[in-house]
Amino acid sequence: MSDTIDEFLVTYLTDVHALEQQSIELLEKAIDIAGDPSAQQLYHGHLLETHEQKRYIRERLEAHGAGPSTTKDVASRAGAKGIGLTVQAAPDTPGKLAAFAFAFEHLEIASYELLRRLAARAGDGDTVEIADRILGEERSAADKIAATFDLVVERALQQRGLAG
């Protein structure tokens, strides 16, 4: 309990960095599973955005003196630390994918809300700014995923010959 607020902030940054890495793995799989060009495009667009988000967070870690050795293996340790969701158990159908990806975006949203508040308490305005920006992108991604729900069900019904 003797961590400084700065060191504590680094643990939050490390965790969101691991989340972004998991998100990249999920979105790469999502492009294969989505099964519809518009959904594929959505996941691809957010994948590009996610690479950028991860870079922003890495820069904030570096600004706090946390070098590559701190950030390098966080993704592999993420599961063991209970961060994120098990991407290995990622869904194999467009419907389960949409639900899983929607949940993942909300996990990110909650994590950035917490990071933002801690950064504000630590007086780190740059991290607050980055968190706000990423929050906007994650919310927009979640909305776009939700907008696919109708299409996902419709296509699943069509594939089963159940579309009326």
Binding residues for Fe ion, per CB under 5 A? 23, 108, 138, 141
Angle between helices 125-146 and 37-63 (to 10 degrees): 170
CA dihedral 155, 92, 149, 18 (to 10 degrees): -150
Residue among 1, 17, 8 nearest 124 (CA): 8
Looking at the Cβ atoms of 133 and 155, the one nearer to Fe ion is 133
Locus of tokens 């729900």: 149
Query: Residue 59 CB, nearest distance to Fe ion (Å)?
Result: 18
Residue 110 has which token pair? 């909650």
Q: Which is nearer to Fe ion, 53 or 122 (CB)?
A: 53
14 vs 23, beta carbon nearer Fe ion: 23
> Are the C-beta atoms of residues 9 and 64 closer than 8 Å to each other?
yes
Nearer to Fe ion, 146 or 163 (CB): 146
Nearest approach in angstroms of CB 15 to Fe ion is 14
Q: Nearest approach, Cβ of 27 to Fe ion (angstroms)?
A: 8
- Closest approach, Cβ 108 to Fe ion, in A, equals 5
